[in-house]
Amino acid sequence: MKALIASNTILMVHLVVTALLVPGLVVYSGAAYLPYLALYVAVLCISYVLLQRIMPTWKREARLHSPSVERFIQVVFLAQVAVLVAHWGYLGGIPLWEALHQQNDLVIVDIRRSAGEVVPLPLAYASHFMIKAVVPFALLLAWGGARKWFWPLAVTAGLYAASLLAKSFVVTLFVPLWIAFLIGRRWMRFGTLSAVFALLIIALSTVANPQKLQFQAVGPNGNTEAVDEGVREHGFLGDAVLGVGKRILVMPGHTVAEWFMHVPADVPYAKGGAIRPLAAVLGVPYTDYTEKIYDLAYPDMAAQHVPGTMGSASFMYGYANFGAWGLAASGLITALMLLLVQAIFGTRWRWALVLNVFPLLALSASALPTVLITHGWAITILLYLLFRPATEPGT
């Protein structure tokens, strides 16, 4: 059994992540769309088993002469500082600092959106690549062999990620190290890092929603109560914990439900136009379904002309294009991708786990091409192939 899991680590993680979509899907839409999800999983598993029979096996041993880890980390540190200075300089300030001086949550939404959308495209991609691929890989290597560079890089990258007001960024940086602590049974370190994640997420959520800390007078006796309904009902800490839990356990499935409910009922099948590279190949106009679904899911925000997006699981882009046939095609394509990644890591399941958990989680909220490029999955794999460390993470 251990050998089976070790040789199919990538598939196992993807199936677990897909299963985590079910609670949110059922909460928001009942069991009506579960057969569609079952179709995707069935095609995925059948395709995986059949393709595995013809997939060549590559034995990739650890490199005897890897590039200098310390030199690599130094270069990453300098690159992170350069991206930080360029990003803040172009924006003319620090988004987090600006948000701390605002009391209107819609203004803060605009600050957060602008932090990622108004910068030049090369800088935007550099930011994504650093936060989602290069720095996480470097931090993992630094912890294992160049500890003196770990804290300068961790603090610099952490401050930069937090400054952009995206809660996921501060977690993404440390996911490989977090998983390494878990599989290595370093419980104290795993628990400490988990607590840091929770505190940072709560802090950034509070910055984005200043009403959580606001009170209003009630009655003639000078009594006060929280302005926010959730804080009134559950208290600040309880509301924060419920918010984080909902975002992790319910929201991914909620997005899947919204896409199923609105496609094709309110938005027609895109016939290839819902994925930019596919639209270019087929010669059809690209349509950003994440914006269309967001407007339908949050009509109040749309009425206020507050822009937003609601991404969904990678297979939902196949559904948005071609319905059930698109789900089946997504199962086949995903199976092939998972097999290719598994072939690269082979039986080095620890490295497969620490470096691929984040991209596989990202597949629950983004299209496959987006995960490969913008979320840095391809860069992460290239870095692993370049270094192929002899030691296993978590040992």
Give the mean model confidence (pLDDT) for residues 348-368.
94
Question: Where do we find the tokens 């909620």?
Answer: 254
**Residues 201-219 pLDDT 10s:** 988 888 888 887 777 667 6
How many C-beta neighbours within 10 Å does residue 194 have?
Answer: 14
Q: CB neighbours of 384 closer than 8 A, spacing ≥ 6? A: 137, 344, 345, 351, 355
The span from the CA of 316 to the CA of 363, in Å, is: 10
In one-letter notation, the amino acid at residue 78 is L
Please report which confidence band the pLDDT of residue 69 belongs to, taking 50, 70 and 90 as the band edges: confident
**Residues 109-167 pLDDT 10s:** 888 888 888 899 999 999 999 999 999 999 999 998 778 899 999 999 999 999 999 88
165 or 60: which carries more pLDDT confidence? 165
Q: Which residues pair with 225 in a beta bridge?
A: 216
**Residues 314-339 pLDDT 10s:** 999 999 999 999 999 999 999 999 99
228 pLDDT higher than 80: no
Give the mean model confidence (pLDDT) for residues 254-274.
93
Q: Which residues of 120-158 are buried (b: 16+ CB within 10 A; e: fewer)?
A: eeeebebbbbbbbbbbbbbbbbbbbebeebbeebbebbb
Determine the length of the chain.
395
| pTM across the whole model | 0.91
Q: What is the mean pLDDT of the chain?
A: 89
Is the peptide bond preceding residue 122 cis, with omega within 30 degrees of 0?
Answer: no
In one-letter notation, the amino acid at residue 355 is L
How many C-beta neighbours within 10 Å does residue 355 have?
Answer: 26
Q: Which residues of 57-77 are buried (b: 16+ CB within 10 A; e: fewer)?
A: eeeeeeeeeeeebeebbbebb
The span from the CA of 161 to the CA of 307, in Å, is: 22
